[in-house]
Amino acid sequence: MGQFVTDVNVLVAYDDPVLHPPFHTPTGWEWIDVDLNKGAHGAYLYVVFERSTEGRPVTGIRVLQDDEKPPAGYQKLPVDLNRGTPVHDKALFLAATRQEGAGRPIVDLTVTHWKDGSKVVPPKTGYTRVDTDLNEGAKGDFIYLDYLRATENAPSGSPATPDQEHA
């Protein structure tokens, strides 16, 4: 059986972890090396996730604004994605679920970013984009979380096929 994303979180680094090591990802977790506040001059925030063959896989990820309550079955992560930014029009939070009805298991996460608003960088082939700019309201780079699902007919953890679902 292949591996699934079984947990996701956002870590706050109080200094630039690239310029001032060490930045320690929890044991067994993967760090996506893109600051979620890139260009917004806020706290250094990074998506980390755990991939495993055990436990319940993450099946859905959404972005919530301000005091928005997560949908049934979703857990809201406590870190404001616009934390520490000088322009802070709204608070944004990730929420994840492990509910079976939310979709096929997620097997990979990535962050896509760009500076120019006239140029949209699409997700990698097969990945689905969480449809909210994680820097929205903070006037930084365009930052999007993309995920890859296991295919419906493939063994667990196999590469996904493109799906049109938007979180």
In a domain, 78, yes or no: yes
Q: Around Cβ 57, how many Cβ atoms within 10 Å?
A: 23
Beta carbons within 8 Å of 166's beta carbon, 6+ residues apart: 128, 129, 130, 131
List own/partner pairs for 13-16 with CB under 8 A and 24 or more apart. 13/43, 13/44, 13/45, 13/46, 14/43, 14/44, 15/44, 16/44
User: How much is the mean pLDDT over the chain?
Assistant: 86
Q: Is 21's pLDDT higher than 70?
A: no
Q: What is the pTM of this model?
A: 0.85
Residues 119-140 have pLDDT tens digits of: 899 999 999 999 999 999 898 9
* 73 within domain boundaries: yes
| Closest among 58, 35, 21 to 140, alpha carbons compared | 35
Residue at 162 is within a domain: no
Examine residue 163 and state whether it is found in any structural domain, yes or no.
no
Task: Give the chain's domain count.
Answer: 1
- DSSP notation for 83-119: TT-SS-S--EEEEEE--GGG-SPEEEEEEEEES-TT-
Residue 108 is assigned to a structural domain of this protein? yes
Q: Output the domain CATH number for residue 10.
A: 2.100.10.50
Q: Mean pLDDT lowest for which of 13-22, 30-39, 123-132? A: 13-22
Domain assignment of residue 33, yes or no: yes
166 lies in some domain: no
Domain hosting 36: range is 4-149
Residue 165 lies in a domain: no
